[in-house]
Structure formats: C-alpha cells, structure tokens
C-alpha cells in the first residue's frame, strides 16, 4: 500500500512534529486540529467553547481544502473535550459544518488536558 505524508503550506501552522494528513489506500487521516490562529500555533482563540470549536473546524476545513476534499467525505471524527459540560455547545457548532443527514461516525473523549491549553481538538478520517 502506498502511503503519502502531507505538510501543507496553506494549512494551519502545526503545533508539533507531525503531518497535516497521511493518505493510506483510500483513506486520509487528518491530524487533530487545535483552536489556534492559522499562522500562529501559539495563539489560542480565547473565549467560549463555541469560538474554540469554530476555529478548530475552520482549521480542519483548511486542511481538507489543501487535500482537495471536503466535509462531505469525512467518515469518522474524534472529538477531545477537556470539559464534558461543553458537549452540547461544541455539538451545536460542529454539526453546522456537515450537510444535514450526513454526519460522520464519531467518538467523543474526555481528556484532562490538550496542547496549547485548548478546550477541544478534533481529528478526521476521510474517504478519498
């Protein structure tokens, strides 16, 4: 199986030593994105879980666009939440990025902390 590693110049600046995405067979594995500014991995979006979720989804959108795909092809998502009391608020923003009735399968995991002090991180598996 051919495996391709992608580091995109027009995607959010990476917060660690990893690829933005890795293609293996007919799947694209998109690294979890943080609620940081696109060109500054150290600046966390301040404010609500809604604002952080929106920034994460926008950062994921940038990676998907660079990989020449979109939210319609996302088949699985993993959401990491520091505070599960944010679950409903995160969901309200998250679901806006998918076509009605075309939500990917998903796991939501409670964690004790995330990189750069984020409250939410989301990664994807995409059909390509």
CB contact at 8 A, 115 and 41? no
Shortest CA distance to 63 belongs to which of 114, 21, 91?
Answer: 21
- Rounded to 5 degrees, φ, ψ at 88 are -65, -40
Give tens-digit pLDDT for 100-115: 999 999 999 999 999 9
Q: Is the pLDDT score of 1 beyond 90?
A: no
**Which pLDDT belongs to residue 46?**
82
Q: What is the mean pLDDT of residues 11-29?
A: 94
Give tens-digit pLDDT for 38-92: 888 778 998 899 999 999 999 999 999 999 999 999 999 999 999 999 999 999 9
The CATH classification number of 3-127 equals 3.30.1330.40
CB contact at 8 A, 49 and 56? no
Shortest CA distance to 10 belongs to which of 77, 93, 68?
Answer: 68
**Which pLDDT belongs to residue 85?**
97
CB contact at 8 A, 54 and 93? yes
**Which pLDDT belongs to residue 56?**
97
pTM for the model stands at 0.96
Q: In the chain, where are the structural domains located?
A: 3-127
């Amino acid at each position: 199986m051919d495996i391709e590693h992608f580091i995109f110049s027009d995607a959010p600046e990476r917060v660690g030593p990893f690829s933005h995405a890795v293609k293996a067979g007919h799947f694209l594995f998109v690294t979890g994105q943080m609620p940081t500014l696109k060109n500054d991995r150290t600046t966390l979006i301040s404010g609500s879980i809604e604002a952080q979720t929106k920034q994460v989804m926008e950062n994921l959108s940038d990676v998907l666009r660079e990989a020449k795909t979109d939210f319609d092809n996302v088949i699985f998502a993993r959401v990491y939440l520091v505070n599960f009391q944010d679950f409903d608020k995160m969901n309200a923003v998250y679901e806006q990025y998918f076509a009605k009735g075309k939500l990917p399968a998903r796991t939501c995991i409670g964690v004790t902390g995330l990189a750069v002090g984020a409250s939410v991180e989301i990664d994807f598996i995409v059909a390509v």
